[in-house]
Amino acid sequence: MSEQQIPVDPALPVPEPQPEPLAEPQPQPEPEPEPEPEPEPEAAMPTAPTATATPTEPPVPTVKDRRVLRAVLRWTAALAVFAVAGTATAYGITRMQRTDLPGLATRPDGRWDYPRIVRPPLPAGRPAPFAPGNAADIHYADLRKLVLPAPKGAKADPALAGDHGWTAPKVLLAEYANKDDRDALQGELTDHGLRHIAARGWTMPDGTRTRIYLLQFETGLIAGEVQQDEFAGYQDPGLALRGTASNVMDESFPEAASADGNGLVEEYAEKQPYGAEQVRQAYISSGDVIALVVQSRPGGAKEIPFQQTVVLQQQLLG
């Protein structure tokens, strides 16, 4: 199956389709004179092109309250599906088709310069995630190639390189502060048949450190149970990360990016006063995969790179 090349900069507005030029009326040949003069019929005037009525834009559906989404995610076993308004987010990301993932070139608002993203091919005969023939919502593509690549200028984190791209569970568990939480999570991952963990990490020149973990289970239903039992929270995450004092729901995260038809995003930020660095985190539920995205930075983790990274990872999975 051929790989799909994806344009780098979706921040530019998508041009509206231009109307096709109308064909100019061709001059009619002069009628040859008849032997006997007859009254000439009036010349037919070219018909003016009928003006096309401007289509009325459908009303934008109201975005569901994220608090409702969280309650549904926490107390039901199935992930909710929502139609979300296609408005641009705070940093200029517009809603796209699955084959049109953004790379998002650097902008003065602080976005990072991600490389061109290539969606990995599916094995022969296997459906895409969330396709009608994929009832278990399984990602059949190589999980290691579904981890978001590092942006330009990043220094790779060797601790997340893993063994041929696979990361040991102990590396993920080390992200959590409480030993009892780590032990309980390890048991839950084992009991629910964790298949793989793929991860990538990097540090940017400004000191922002990013870690992304993808956890894959046998089915989307199993992954949803783990998400609800271990990671989901209402006002704060289910498990505290190492180095965080108090985490709250990240209200700065764009509402339209928090849910799409194929999954949900739970995002949190460490509130002030925090220590030497601030931590932002997000859990992405996408079928049989749970993604954890963590960003930390001395003096404060910036909103825009975090939002950009989470949305790109979400869309790459969805």
Predicted confidence (pLDDT) per residue in 117-157, tens digit: 888 999 999 999 999 999 999 999 999 999 999 999 999 99
Q: Is residue 24 part of a domain?
A: no
DSSP β-ladder status, 196-203 and 247-249: unpaired
Domains identified in the chain, total number: 1
Beta bridge partners, 4, equal: 119
Q: Is residue 66 part of a domain?
A: yes
Q: Is residue 21 part of a domain?
A: no
Beta bridge partners, 215, equal: 197, 290
Q: Is residue 19 part of a domain?
A: no
Confidence of residue 251 (pLDDT cuts 50, 70, 90): confident
Residue 248: per-residue pLDDT = 84
Confidence of residue 25 (pLDDT cuts 50, 70, 90): very low
- Give buried/exposed letters for 62-96 (b at 16+ CB in 10 A, else e): ebbebeebbebbeeeeebbebebeeeebebbbbbe
pLDDT at 294 over 60: yes
Q: Which domain holds residue 132?
A: 60-317
Q: Are 294 and 175 in contact (CB under 8 A)?
A: yes
Q: Is residue 82 part of a domain?
A: yes
Residue 275: per-residue pLDDT = 84
pTM of this prediction? 0.68
Confidence of residue 71 (pLDDT cuts 50, 70, 90): very low
- Residue 127 identity: P
Q: Which phi and psi angles does 149 have, rounded to 5°?
A: -70, 160
Q: Which of 2, 150, 4, 137 is nearest to 79 (CA)?
A: 137
In angstroms, the CA 72 to CA 254 distance is 19
When pLDDT is averaged across residues 27-34 and rounded to a whole number, the result is 46
Q: Is residue 13 part of a domain?
A: no
Q: Is residue 50 part of a domain?
A: no
Distances (CA, A) of 57 to 60, 61, 63, 64, 185: 8, 12, 17, 20, 48
Q: Which of 244, 247, 238 is nearest to 182 (CA)?
A: 238
Q: Is residue 169 part of a domain?
A: yes
Better-scored residue on pLDDT, 270 or 261: 270
Structure tokens at 310: 């989470």
pLDDT in tens, 9-18: 433 343 444 4
Could you count the other beta carbons within 10 Å of the beta carbon of residue 8?
A: 16
Q: Are 128 and 134 in contact (CB under 8 A)?
A: yes
Q: Which of 98, 83, 166 is nearest to 128 (CA)?
A: 98
Better-scored residue on pLDDT, 58 or 232: 232
Residue 311: per-residue pLDDT = 93
Q: To the nearest whole percent, how much of the chain has pLDDT over 70?
A: 64
pLDDT at 198 over 80: yes
Residue 45: per-residue pLDDT = 37
Residue 258: per-residue pLDDT = 60
Confidence of residue 107 (pLDDT cuts 50, 70, 90): low
